[in-house]
């Protein structure tokens, strides 16, 4: 590619480009930096290497935003400097960027360094990259040492054993650095580094580091070690776990800082997988019990999310949950903190599949019922949203008597988001409770939502009706909901009349041609003379929507005259949508004069305005 | 609060665990204490809470004979190590009152009596204080706690804790207090735990810790460097990692007085602290909460060593707020404080970059920013500096002032700008006339320069397009498409294709350019 640009070099003296990168205006400087690849391309690979990169390395003092863009660009600069053979000349500017204070810049520089490390040959890695890592690791200011932590892992697997030993030594030093920032960085990279080490070194090097970091004086270091512990446990053979990592993990679960305990609770599933079923059973279960009883709500919330215990050994899972976990769960149901209860509610139903029918009826059902009556709507919603798990085991009937008041209350909640959430579960509930129960208890709720004062609820309610008809069939629709929906066409509130149209839009297809033609169409046509323009143009839209369901005789005889009439309406939006419908259904030869562009554009705008204001 | 398990059951569980292992009790109590100050859970209270052993009032110290006094003092200190759950307002009422009375008696005792601080009481006192105040701070009840808006969560056990702090202060201030004895107990670990407590949400507690730390810094020379280093670490974590720490203002207040006492010439460590911590601290989201203290520290440094002026001002200019007007006003305030103490020779070094920024602020569409910057002209000393250097400053300021005098939406600003222009004209009417005359030319020259830039970029983009199509190498193509996508905002190449975008861009770049 050098040849392609050779002739243009004189056109773009580096001074001009550098001027751009030095522009006084930060925004312009930023733009220039973001197009650094263009500049490099104009210069050609050689001048990029000999002139541009030294310039970038020297003038590293700039706004962090500019530096961030630079750090990112350099990560994909390899071809622009002449390919992998020359990739090492990107190291000096990135090295400076990796020592910057601003974390975002530094992290980006490290990311780019990790990326280009892969493009180094093993020799270049040892000659150029590893020395850089060592320099960073022994830098004076904490920033360079922090950055170094993220680079050991990428070079370790590809260097000779002597260099490997040096790298391990550097990592060890950083783990006991005297600034907590560096120890945090080391702690967060410990797991990653362990993964590339030989097993013997994991045992001899990593374990002591892990133990030390996990008992650091700063809780921010300790909590990062927990995550590392999970990775390390996964690397070790089963027989070593008990001696090498378990004491430390046990200690973390009882740490005096709630942040560390929270981390253990949060990583509990991963931890179980890493240590396997036996240790989980003997060791983690008691620890877990304590986490469920923790004095901080944050910890209990994190633990409550994990009560299902997926990794427990198959044969003893039920017993363990029954004897050890369930008693704690029972207490959590009446926790004072809503987040704890809500976390529990989202997983508690899952226990029923593990415990089986009898246990569910005897032990879990009472808990579900308590949570269904909880004062916080989120808790109740979480229970309802997971009803399918219980349905598989005991059938939802067991719950129906308590379910109903809970649903009714949520359906009438003052917060529309809560109402919206419960609507979304209606089809699921209807499917599980059966048509009879539904007609008797829930149908009226579903109809009430259609006249909710919040548009989002009305919209969700129409969609809900469609799903219900999909479940219960057209005949049910004709008997129960269609009459009520059509009845609203005579409502004095135009928003309710429009809801009729929206319902028809949603229902026509699932109800089929007969119901649509016989029952719905006449109502729609009648509404075409409504005095509110919004209703009239929605009639046009509705006709377009239900057109495909109707047969052609109905279209020609009934729909066509109405649309033609609407197309001459005084209101321009009504006209617009009538014409839209006509053209959309290929009903007629179109009168072209009406389609001037400005007209339709403004109509659309107007339509959106009127629509968004209407509820 | 609802207690869910019967008290009898609770009691038996506790006594069993106490018998097995003394440590269990201590750790559980500690955990319970954490909750006590937050009360996030009744659950822990009902199942794992140990009942605090009842404490009964001992005889008054003042009634004891001098031989018994020491022994009694020790006993009382030990008694005060018993912790109570303040979230539970029903239980242990009598014991709580006893402890409160004892603590307040101890406060009196150490502040009014001489010769009571004999060596054996030092470890007892440190233990008592540590037990009472050191704890892991609980999670904030309000995860989005905004110190400017929200009420802080107050420490529930304050009735005891306040007295403990008070006692500790009187102990440190007692004329018999021997730092050489105390340093065995008030060590690095102790100080580290104390510093962590600065994060407490309770402002009353932070106020006490501030005074305590100040005393410790004053009396324990061996701990000074350590304290400074740990404060640095807290600040660095605050700036670059968490952006959350409640006690920044208090720590800065202490540092303000520490800086005051620095010896000259300043050590490299102190300069590093200024440049690597105090200046970047201006970027923090919560700047408003501690800006006064921060500005005070910065000005202290400049007063100590005026040669620091240039790096400080350049540092502030580097971190000048781009979008937050509220912060911009604070920066302008701080710059004025610096200008108030600046030496004229130092002023010359920074006048150009500084007044370029001030010129931008003066033309800010946010009237508070413009107003704050224009107020500089009410400051006699600044005015004299400007007058002295008007040949440099006038050309920098003129363009924006002239434009704003015609364009700004806010009449107050326009009036202020007229005054400033008048002042400048009086300073150097010849230069002023020249600038007025060349104003139009300058604008045109700027425009032309802008066009040249656009032309350059257009050519570069063409070149890139050629390259991309010429090279059939997949890798290249992917890379360039990628960078192309990345950069299409403000992309000059796009402008040519889309006239509308070009116009908006030009307008934008006009506002950017001065």
Which 180-239 residues of chain B touch chain A by CB within 8 A? 189, 192, 233, 236-237, 239
Distance from CA of B258 to the nearest CA of A (A): 22
Lowest mean pLDDT among A194-203, A399-408, B467-476: B467-476
Distance from CA of A407 to the nearest CA of B (A): 27
Whose structure tokens read 């983009």? B461
Q: Is residue A590 predicted with pLDDT exceeding 60?
A: no
Lowest mean pLDDT among A432-446, A516-530, B292-306: A432-446
Count CB neighbours of A531 within 10 A. 7
pLDDT band at B468 (very low <50, low <70, confident <90, very high): low
Closest in B41, B239, B491 to A297, CB measured: B41
- CB-based contact (8 Å) between B65 and chain A? no
pLDDT band at B52 (very low <50, low <70, confident <90, very high): low
With both helix axes pointing from N to C terminus, report the angle between B390-407 and B344-362 in degrees, rounded to the nearest 10. Answer: 10
Residues 6+ apart with CB under 8 A from A227: A188, A191, A263, A267
Q: Torsion over CA of A343, A346, A348 and A352, rounded to 10 degrees? A: -170
Q: Which residue in A has a C-alpha nearest to residue B2's C-alpha?
A: A336
Q: Which residues of B touch A28 (CB under 8 A)?
A: 453, 509, 512
From CA A371, how far away is CA A352, in angstroms rounded?
A: 15
What percent of chain B lies above the pLDDT cut of 90?
45
Which 12-41 residues of chain B touch chain A by CB within 8 A? 27, 30-32, 34-35, 38, 40-41
> Residue A441: exposed, middle, or buried by beta-carbon count in 10 A (0-12, 13-18, 19+)?
middle
Interval A480-485 mean pLDDT? 86
Measure Cα distances from B467 to A18, A36, A415, B148, B477 in Å: 21, 15, 58, 55, 9
Q: Residue A198: what are its φ and ψ, rounded to 5°? A: -70, 145
Distance from CA of A16 to the nearest CA of B (A): 9
For the record, the structure tokens of B241 come out as 């990692």
Contact between A63 and A26 under an 8 Å Cβ cutoff? The reply is yes
From CA B11, how far away is CA B24, in angstroms rounded?
A: 15
Question: pLDDT digits over B422-447, tens only?
Answer: 998 888 888 888 888 888 888 888 88
Which pLDDT does position B375 carry in this prediction?
94
Contact between B249 and B293 under an 8 Å Cβ cutoff? The reply is yes
Question: pLDDT digits over A5-55, tens only?
Answer: 444 444 555 677 777 777 777 788 888 888 888 888 878 888 888 888 888
Which 105-144 residues of chain B touch chain A by CB within 8 A? 136, 138-139
Interval A510-519 mean pLDDT? 86
Domain interval for residue A574 = 483-590
Q: For an interface test with B, give the residue of A8, A35, A65, A330 to mutate (most B CBs within 10 A).
A: A35
Distance, first Cα to last Cα, chain B: 65
**DSSP-H helix ranges across A280-373:** 285-292, 297-304, 314-320, 326-332, 338-348, 351-359, 365-372
Whose structure tokens read 């601290």? B281
Count CB neighbours of A527 within 10 A. 22
ipTM, two decimals, is: 0.73
Q: Which residue in B has a C-alpha nearest to residue A72's C-alpha?
A: B483
Contact pairs from chain A to chain B, CB under 8 Å = 141
For chain A, the domain total comes to 1
Q: Is residue B512 predicted with pLDDT exceeding 70?
A: no
Interval A266-275 mean pLDDT? 88
Q: Is A331 in Cβ contact with B43 (below 8 Å)?
A: yes
Which 405-444 residues of chain B touch chain A by CB within 8 A? none
- Residue of B338 and B49 predicted with greater confidence: B338
pLDDT band at B68 (very low <50, low <70, confident <90, very high): confident
Interval A191-214 mean pLDDT? 92
User: Does A238 fall in a domain?
Assistant: no
Contact between B45 and B88 under an 8 Å Cβ cutoff? The reply is yes
pLDDT band at A430 (very low <50, low <70, confident <90, very high): confident
Which pLDDT does position B143 carry in this prediction?
67
For the record, the structure tokens of B155 come out as 């420490």
For the record, the structure tokens of A313 come out as 């050994």
Count CB neighbours of A53 within 10 A. 22
User: Does A576 fall in a domain?
Assistant: yes
User: Does A582 fall in a domain?
Assistant: yes
Distance from CA of B339 to the nearest CA of A (A): 24
Peptide bond into A437 cis (omega under 30): no
Count CB neighbours of A15 within 10 A. 9
User: Does A489 fall in a domain?
Assistant: yes
A276: left (phi > 0), else alpha (psi -120 to 50), else beta? left
Q: Is residue A606 predicted with pLDDT exceeding 60?
A: no
- Residue of B25 and A257 predicted with greater confidence: A257
In 3D space, the residue among B98, B53, B54, B50 whose CA is nearest the CA of residue B76 turns out to be: B98
Q: Is residue B174 predicted with pLDDT exceeding 70?
A: yes
Measure Cα distances from B169 to A183, B126, B174 in Å: 34, 12, 8
Q: For an interface test with B, give the residue of A38, A80, A181, A328 to mutate (most B CBs within 10 A).
A: A38
Residues 6+ apart with CB under 8 A from B249: B289, B290, B292, B293
Which pLDDT does position B124 carry in this prediction?
92
Closest in A101, A257, A335 to B136, CB measured: A257
From CA B245, how far away is CA B281, in angstroms rounded?
A: 12
Q: Which residues of A touch B459 (CB under 8 A)?
A: 11-12
Distance of CA B189 to the CA centre of its chain: 23
Which pLDDT does position A166 carry in this prediction?
93
> Residue B114: exposed, middle, or buried by beta-carbon count in 10 A (0-12, 13-18, 19+)?
exposed
Which 287-316 residues of chain A touch chain B by CB within 8 A? 293-298, 300
Which pLDDT does position A9 carry in this prediction?
47
pLDDT band at A117 (very low <50, low <70, confident <90, very high): very high
User: Does A212 fall in a domain?
Assistant: no
> Residue A597: exposed, middle, or buried by beta-carbon count in 10 A (0-12, 13-18, 19+)?
exposed
Complete DSSP assignment for B26-86: HHHHHHHHHHHHH---SHHHHHTPPPPPP--PPPPGGGS-HHHHHHHHHHHHHHTT----S
Q: Is A334 in Cβ contact with B4 (below 8 Å)?
A: yes
Residues 6+ apart with CB under 8 A from B40: A295, A296, A297, A298, A336, A337, B138, B139, B141
Max Cα distance, chain B (Å) = 102
User: Does A534 fall in a domain?
Assistant: yes
Max Cα distance, chain A (Å) = 91
User: Does A578 fall in a domain?
Assistant: yes
From CA B405, how far away is CA B422, in angstroms rounded?
A: 11
From CA A188, how far away is CA A157, in angstroms rounded?
A: 19
Contact between A217 and A176 under an 8 Å Cβ cutoff? The reply is no
Distance, first Cα to last Cα, chain A: 61
Show contacts of A524-527: CB within 8 Å, 24+ apart.
Answer: A525/A558, A525/A559, A525/A562, A526/A489, A527/A489, A527/A497, A527/A500, A527/A501
Q: Is B276 in Cβ contact with A141 (below 8 Å)?
A: yes
From CA A229, how far away is CA A246, in angstroms rounded?
A: 9
Distance of CA B442 to the CA centre of its chain: 43
pTM over cut 0.80: no
Return the CATH number at A503: 1.25.10.10
From CA A461, how far away is CA A423, in angstroms rounded?
A: 7
Closest in A256, A294, A335 to B30, CB measured: A256
- CB-based contact (8 Å) between B466 and chain A? yes
Q: For an interface test with A, give the residue of B280, B451, B460, B511 to mutate (most A CBs within 10 A).
A: B460
Q: Is residue A611 predicted with pLDDT exceeding 50?
A: no
Whose structure tokens read 């520089």? A109
DSSP at A62 = S
Most confident segment among A397-411, B124-138, B451-465: B124-138
Q: Which residue in A has a C-alpha nearest to residue B466's C-alpha?
A: A4
From CA A509, how far away is CA A515, in angstroms rounded?
A: 10
Q: Is A76 in Cβ contact with B482 (below 8 Å)?
A: yes
- CB-based contact (8 Å) between B510 and chain A? no
Q: Which residue in A has a C-alpha nearest to residue B475's C-alpha?
A: A79
* Strand, coil or helix: B331: helix
Distance of CA A320 to the CA centre of its chain: 33
From CA A292, how far away is CA B43, in angstroms rounded?
A: 10
Which 374-393 residues of chain A touch chain B by CB within 8 A? none
DSSP at A121 = -
User: Does A494 fall in a domain?
Assistant: yes
Q: Which residues of B touch A59 (CB under 8 A)?
A: none
In 3D space, the residue among B203, B125, B205 whose CA is nearest the CA of residue B160 turns out to be: B205
Distance from CA of B299 to the nearest CA of A (A): 23
Question: pLDDT digits over A370-394, tens only?
Answer: 888 888 888 888 888 887 777 777 7
Interval A219-243 mean pLDDT? 90
Contact between A400 and A411 under an 8 Å Cβ cutoff? The reply is no
Question: pLDDT digits over B388-411, tens only?
Answer: 998 899 989 988 888 888 888 889
Distance of CA A433 to the CA centre of its chain: 31
Residues 6+ apart with CB under 8 A from A167: A130, A133, A152, A155, A156, A159
């Amino acid at each position: 590619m050098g040849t392609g640009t050779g002739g243009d070099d004189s056109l773009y003296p580096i001074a001009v480009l550098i001027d751009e990168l030095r522009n006084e205006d930060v925004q312009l400087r930023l733009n220039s930096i973001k197009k650094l690849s263009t500049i490099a391309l104009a210069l050609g690979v050689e001048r990029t290497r000999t002139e541009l990169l030294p310039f970038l390395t020297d003038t590293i003092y700039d706004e962090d935003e500019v530096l961030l863009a630079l750090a990112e660009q350099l990560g994909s600069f390899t071809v622009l400097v002449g390919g992998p053979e020359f990739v090492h000349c990107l190291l000096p500017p990135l090295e400076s960027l990796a020592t910057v204070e601003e974390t975002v810049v530094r992290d980006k520089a490290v990311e780019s360094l990790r990326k280009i490390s892969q493009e180094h040959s093993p020799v270049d890695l040892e000659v150029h990259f590893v020395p850089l890592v060592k320099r960073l690791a022994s830098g004076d200011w904490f920033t360079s040492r922090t950055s170094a932590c993220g680079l050991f892992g990428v070079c370790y697997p590809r260097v000779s054993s002597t260099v490997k030993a040096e790298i391990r030594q550097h990592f060890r030093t950083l783990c006991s650095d005297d600034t907590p920032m560096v120890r945090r960085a080391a702690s967060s990279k410990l797991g990653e580094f362990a993964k590339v080490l030989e097993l013997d070194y994991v045992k001899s090097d990593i374990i002591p580091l892990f133990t030390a970091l996990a008992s650091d004086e700063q809780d921010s270091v300790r909590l990062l070690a927990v995550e590392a512990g999970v990775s390390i446990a996964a690397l070790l053979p089963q027989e070593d776990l008990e001696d090498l990592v378990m004491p430390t993990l046990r200690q973390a679960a009882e740490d005096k800082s709630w942040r560390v305990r929270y981390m253990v609770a949060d990583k509990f599933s991963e931890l179980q997988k890493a240590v396997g079923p036996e240790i989980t059973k003997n060791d983690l279960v008691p620890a877990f019990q304590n986490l469920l009883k923790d004095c901080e709500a944050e910890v209990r919330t994190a633990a409550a999310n994990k009560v299902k215990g997926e990794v427990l050994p198959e044969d003893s899972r039920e017993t363990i949950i029954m004897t050890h976990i369930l008693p704690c769960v029972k207490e959590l149901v009446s926790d004072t903190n809503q987040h704890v209860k809500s976390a529990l509610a989202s997983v508690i139903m899952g226990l029923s599949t593990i415990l089986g029918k009898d246990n569910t009826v005897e032990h879990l059902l009472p808990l579900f019922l308590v949570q269904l009556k909880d004062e916080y709507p989120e808790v109740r919603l979480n229970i309802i949203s997971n009803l399918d798990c219980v349905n598989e085991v005991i059938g939802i009937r067991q719950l129906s008597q308590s379910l109903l008041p809970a649903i009714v209350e949520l359906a009438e909640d003052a917060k529309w988001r809560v109402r919206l959430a419960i609507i979304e579960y209606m089809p699921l509930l209807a499917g599980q409770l059966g048509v009879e129960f539904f007609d008797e208890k829930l149908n009226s709720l579903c109809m009430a939502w259609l006249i909710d004062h919040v548009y989002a609820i009305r919209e969700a309610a129409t969609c809900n009706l469609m799903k219900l008809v999909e479940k219960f069939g057209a005949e049910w629709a004709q008997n129960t909901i269609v009459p009520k929906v059509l009845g609203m066409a005579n409502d004095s509130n135009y928003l309710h009349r429009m809801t009729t149209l929206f319902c028809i839009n949603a229902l026509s297809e699932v109800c089929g041609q007969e119901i649509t033609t016989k029952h719905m169409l006449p109502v729609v046509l009648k509404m075409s003379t409504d005095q509110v323009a919004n209703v009239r143009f929605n009639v046009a839209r509705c006709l377009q929507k239900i057109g495909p369901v109707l047969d052609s005789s109905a279209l020609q005889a009934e729909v066509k005259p109405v649309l033609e009439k609407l197309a001459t309406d005084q209101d321009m939006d009504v006209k617009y949508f009538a014409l839209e419908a006509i053209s959309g259904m290929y009903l007629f030869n179109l009168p072209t004069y009406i389609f001037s562009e400005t007209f339709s554009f403004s109509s659309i705008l107007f339509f959106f305005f009127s629509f968004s204001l209407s509820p | 609060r609802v207690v869910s398990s019967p008290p009898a059951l609770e009691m038996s569980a506790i006594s069993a665990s106490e018998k097995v292992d003394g440590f269990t009790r201590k750790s559980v109590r500690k955990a319970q204490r954490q909750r006590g100050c937050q009360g996030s859970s009744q659950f822990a209270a009902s199942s794992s809470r140990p009942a605090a052993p009842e404490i009964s009032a001992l005889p008054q110290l003042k009634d004891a004979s001098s031989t018994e006094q020491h022994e009694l003092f020790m006993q009382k200190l030990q008694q005060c190590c018993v912790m109570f759950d303040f979230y539970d307002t029903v239980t242990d009422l009598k014991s709580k009152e006893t402890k409160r009375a004892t603590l307040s008696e101890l406060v009196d005792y150490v502040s009014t009596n001489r010769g009571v601080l004999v060596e054996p009481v030092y470890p007892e006192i440190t233990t008592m204080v540590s037990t009472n105040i050191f704890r892991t701070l609980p999670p904030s009840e309000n995860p989005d706690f905004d110190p400017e808006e929200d009420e802080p969560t107050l420490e529930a056990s304050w009735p005891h804790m306040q007295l403990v702090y008070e006692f500790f202060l009187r102990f440190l201030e007692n004329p018999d207090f021997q730092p050489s004895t105390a340093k065995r107990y008030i060590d690095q670990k102790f100080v580290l735990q104390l510093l962590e407590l600065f994060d407490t949400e309770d402002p009353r507690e932070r106020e006490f810790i501030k005074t305590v730390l100040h005393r410790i810094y004053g009396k324990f020379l061996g701990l000074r460097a350590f304290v400074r280093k740990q404060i640095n670490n807290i600040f660095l974590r605050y700036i670059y990692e968490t952006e959350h720490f409640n006690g920044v203002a208090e720590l800065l207040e202490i540092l303000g007085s520490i800086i005051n006492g620095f010896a000259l010439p300043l050590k490299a460590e102190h300069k590093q602290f200024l440049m690597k911590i105090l200046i970047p601290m201006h970027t923090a989201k919560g700047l408003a909460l501690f800006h006064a203290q921060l500005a005070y520290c910065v000005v202290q440094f400049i007063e100590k060593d005026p040669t620091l002026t240039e790096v400080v001002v350049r540092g502030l200019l580097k971190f000048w707020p781009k979008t937050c007007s509220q912060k911009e006003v604070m920066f302008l305030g701080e710059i004025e404080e610096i200008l108030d103490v600046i030496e004229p020779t130092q002023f010359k070094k920074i006048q150009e970059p500084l007044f370029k920024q001030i010129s931008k602020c003066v033309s800010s569409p946010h009237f508070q920013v413009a107003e704050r910057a224009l107020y500089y002209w009410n400051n006699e000393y600044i005015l004299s500096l400007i007058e002295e250097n008007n040949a440099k400053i006038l050309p920098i300021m003129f363009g924006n002032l002239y434009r704003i005098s015609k364009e700004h939406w806010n009449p107050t600003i326009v009036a202020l700008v007229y005054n400033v222009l008048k002042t400048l004209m009086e300073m150097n009417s010849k230069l002023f006339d020249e600038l007025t005359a060349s104003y139009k030319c300058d604008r045109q020259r700027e425009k032309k320069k802008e066009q040249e830039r656009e032309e350059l970029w257009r050519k570069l983009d063409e070149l890139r397009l050629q390259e991309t199509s010429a090279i059939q190498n997949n890798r290249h193509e992917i890379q360039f498409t990628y960078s192309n996508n990345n950069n299409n905002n403000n992309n000059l190449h796009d402008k040519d294709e889309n006239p509308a975008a070009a116009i908006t861009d030009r307008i934008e770049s006009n506002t950017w350019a001065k």
